[in-house]
Structure 1
Amino acid sequence: MRRLLTVCLAALLLSSCGGVPTAGVKPGATAVPDLPPMRRFPATAAPPPQRSNAEMARDFMDLSFSLESGRALPVLTRFEEPIHVRMTGVAPPTAAEDLGRLLARLRNEAGIDISSAPDGPAQITVEFLPRKVMQRLVPRAACFVAPRVGSWEAYRRAPRADLDWATLTHRDVAAIFIPNDTAPQEVRDCLHEELAQALGPLNDLYRLPDSVFNDDNIHTVLTGFDMLMLRVTYAPELRSGMTAPEVAARLPALLARLNPAGERGRAPLPDPTPRAYSEAIETALGPGTFAPRRRVAAREALDIAEARGWRDTRTGFAWLALGRLSLGHDAETAQIAFREAAAIYESRPELALQAAHADMQLAAFALSNGEAEEVILRANRSLPLAAAAENAALLSSLLMVKAEALDLVGRASEARQVRLDSLGWARYGFASDAEVRLRLMNIAALSPATRMRQK
C-alpha cells in the first residue's frame, strides 16, 4: 500500500500534497507564463543495485515473509502462470503509456512473463476511481492492492478473511485501486509500487535506502534493487508454497547467479526498525492528526532513531519530517532539521536522492534570504538526481527556485528558460494546471525581489 502522506517531500512550503497556500501572494505580483506541453521521462532501465548480496538476501527475506503490520507470512507466494494486466474505470490520459513502460521494464529487467490484456481476462486488474470513493473505505491509502478480487465492487463485498495475504498459498488474482483525480506522477508512482507488491514482496522497510519498498516514498519508480527482488521472486529455483528456511537456503546461490557483482563479503546485521518508530512516522505524516501532535510524533521518531544510534535513511527521514512539519510554525527548527537531514544524507552515497529532497528545502530558505548563489549550487547538484529518479515534482520545484535565483543575479534570459522548463515538468508532477501556477507563484513569493514588488 502506498500511504497517503501529508508531507509532500518534493514540494515546498505546502500545507499538503494537494493544496498550495497563497497567503502573502498578491494577484498579479508574479507573472505566470502560458504553460508549455507536459514533459515526460524517456524509457530507461534502472542501474544495478550497489549493495552486497548478503545484505540483499536479508532484505528479501524480510520483505517476502512479513506484512507491513509485522505479521509473519508462512510461505512464499507468487503468480505461477503468465500474468496479464488490464485497466478498468476512467483511466487518466497518461496511465496507459506509463503502464506499458512499466510492463516492458518488468519483462526486461525482472524477467517476468507479464503483458497487457486490454480486452481479455487478467490476473491483475488496475481499477481507477475517484479518490473520495476509495478513501471512504481506506482513508490512509494513496492507492493499494488487494488479493483474490478483480474489481472495486468485489473488494467491497469480499469477506475480510478473503483479503488476507497471509492466507494465500499462491497468487492467482489481484486488483490495484488508484485515484483517477490525482497528478500524473502520482498515478505512475502507484502503478510502480502497487504492481510490484501485487507481484512480489508485500512488506515495506524504512531501513532500505534504494527501494520503493519503503514507506518514505522517496523512490517513486522501481529501482535496480526492486527489480532484483522481483527477479529473485520469479526465479526457477523458487516456487509458491516454499517456507522461509527453504527460500533462505537457496538465496546465496540464486543471488550469486543473478547479481555476481554483489558477491563481496558479508555485511553487518541491520538494526530492525521497532514498531514504535513506524507508528510515530505514520502519526506525523498520515491524515487525521492535528499539527501539534504531528510535530510531537516526528520528534518521537527522531528520539527513537538517535537512541538506537542510526545514521541512515531512517534518522534522515525523521529530521526531514520534523523540518517539514515545523514550516510555518518554527522556521529556525525547520532549517536546523533540514540541515541535519542533509548532513546524514550527504555522508552516504546511497542516499543521494534523499539529499536532493533536503537540498530543495534548504534552497528555499536560501532564496528567502537572498542567497542566490547557494540556491543555484544546491539546485544544480540535485537536478540530475531528480531527473534520474524520474521525479518531475522535485525536478520542477528545483527548477523554479533556480529560476528565481537567476533573476536575483541578473541572468533574466536564463531564468525565463529555466522557469519555462520547470512548468513542463510540473504539469506531469502536479495534479492540475491551477496547482502548477499557484506553486510557481508561491515559490516566486519567497524571493526578496518579489517581496519588494509587492510593497
Structure 2
Amino acid sequence: MRIAQAGRALTVLGLALGLAACDMAPPAPAPNAPRPPADRGDGPSARSQALAAHYARLERDLRARGLLRMDGGGPDTPWSDTDLMRNFERIVFYDEYAPGAGFRASSGRAGGLRKWTAPVRFSLEFGTSVSDAQRAEDGDTVAGYAARLARATRHPISMAGRGGANFHVLVMSEDDRAEGLARVRALAPGIDPATFNVFRNMPRSIHCLVVAFSDRGNPNSYDQAIAWIRAEHPPLMRKSCVHEELAQGLGLADDSPRARPSIFNDDDEFALLTAQDEALLGLLYHPDLRPGMTPDEARPILRRLIDERAGGPV
C-alpha cells in the first residue's frame, strides 16, 4: 500500500529474466502448516516489535482521518468513462519505478501494455515467526481475493501449492528477512542485483512490494511474480497490501493522483480494490488488448470496450 508522506509500496514490473520452469525451487512442505512454538524463538525482536507499533499507529491515524476506506467507492466518488480511459492509460502504460533499477524513479515515458497470458497461480508462504492465527487470516484473504480477481479479469486465476505456483506471496517479518531473501533467490536465481536489493534493503517507508518477471522472448507477457508483505502490519494494512500488490502484479503498474475511487492513488483514501479498479482489470484482460500494444494502438480498442460497458460487463 502507499502511504502519502509516510510510506509507499514498491512495484517493479517488466523485468526480463528468461526464467524457465526448471529454475523453480522444488516443492516443499505446505507453508500454511502449523509449526511448533519452539520454531519461532522467544518472540519478535525489538526491531520487529517497533515496526509493528509504528504501523499500528499509522493505521489508527489514517483511519481517524477518514482514509483507508473499505467501501469501494460510492455516491461521493463518481467516475465517468472519460475518467476510466484516462486512468487506464496512466496506470497501465507507465511505471512508478524504472524496471531493474531499484528505487530509481521511472523515465516517465509510456511503455507497452503488460499482462499475464498464462494462468496465474498464487501461493502464500509465511516466515517462521508468523503466528498460526495470522496464517489462517491471511490465507482466507488471499484465497478470497484471488477469486475476486478471476471474476474481474475473466482470466484463469487460482490458488496453488508452493510447487505449482507462479505468483508467490511472501508474508515475512523483519525476523524472517534472511529466510525470505533465500526464498527470493530460489524462486528467481537470475534476479539482477538492483532488484534483489529492493527486497534486501526495504526501508520502513516501503510497506510491501511486488516484482513481476517476463520471459526474454516476450517481455510484455508476465510469467512469474513475487510479492513481499510485511508481517508486522495490522490486519487492514496487511489486507490493503495484498489488494494492491496482487493487482499491480497483474499489470496495473503505476499510480495516478486523478484516479478516484482507486487504490492506485497515493492519497490512501481507499484501502481495498474499488469498482473502478475492477473495471481497469476487466479492460486490461480483454483478449482484444494484447501484450506489447502502445497507447496509440490500444486507444481505439479501449474506446470501443468502454462504450460497450453501458450494456454490461466488458
TM-score (norm 1): 0.43
1:209 and 2:260 correspond:
yes
1:17–1:247 CA distance, 2 compared to 1 (3 A): same
Q: Secondary structure at the match of 2:168?
A: strand
How big is the shift at 1:45? Answer: 8.5
Q: Secondary structure at the match of 2:260?
A: coil
Q: How does 1:9-408 map to 2 (within 5 A)?
A: 16-19=54-57, 50-68=78-96, 69-70=105-106, 71-90=108-127, 92-93=134-135, 94-131=137-174, 133=177, 137-139=201-203, 140-148=205-213, 168-260=219-311
Kindly indicate which of the two structures has a greater share of residues assigned to helix: 1
Q: Distance in 1 between matches of 2:151 and 2:174?
A: 32
1:253–1:5 CA distance, 2 compared to 1 (3 A): same
Q: CA RMSD in A?
A: 3.3
How big is the shift at 1:50? Answer: 4.0
Q: Which runs of 5+ in 2 are unaligned?
A: 9-52, 59-69, 97-104, 178-197
Q: Distance in 2 between matches of 1:168 and 1:88?
A: 27
How big is the shift at 1:89? Answer: 2.5
What percent identity do the matched residue pairs reach? 27
1:73–1:183 CA distance, 2 compared to 1 (3 A): same
Q: Which has the larger radius of gyration?
A: 1
Q: Distance in 1 between matches of 2:221 and 2:298?
A: 15
How big is the shift at 1:5? Answer: 5.3
Q: Distance in 2 between matches of 1:261 and 1:46?
A: 19
How big is the shift at 1:187? Answer: 1.4
Amino acid at match of 2:260: P
> Could you tell me whether the CA contact under 8 Å between 1:47 and 1:223 is conserved in 2?
no
Amino acid at match of 1:75: G
Q: Tell me the matched-pair count.
A: 218
In the other structure, the counterpart of 1:362 is none
1:7–1:59 CA distance, 2 compared to 1 (3 A): closer
> Could you tell me whether the CA contact under 8 Å between 1:6 and 1:17 is conserved in 2?
no
Alpha-carbon deviations, 1:165-188, whole Å to 9, x = none?
xx9322111100011122121211
> Could you tell me whether the CA contact under 8 Å between 2:259 and 2:265 is conserved in 1?
yes
> Could you tell me whether the CA contact under 8 Å between 1:145 and 1:197 is conserved in 2?
yes
Q: Point out 4+ residue stretches in structure 1 off by more than 6 angstroms.
A: 44-49
Kindly indicate which of the two structures has a greater share of residues assigned to strand: 2
> Could you tell me whether the CA contact under 8 Å between 2:72 and 2:273 is conserved in 1?
no
Q: Distance in 1 between matches of 2:310 and 2:153?
A: 12
> Could you tell me whether the CA contact under 8 Å between 2:7 and 2:207 is conserved in 1?
no
Q: Distance in 1 between matches of 2:174 and 2:274?
A: 27
Q: Which runs of 5+ in 1 are unaligned?
A: 9-14, 21-41, 150-161, 263-455
Which structure's relative contact order is higher, taking Cα pairs within 8 Å and 6+ residues apart?
2
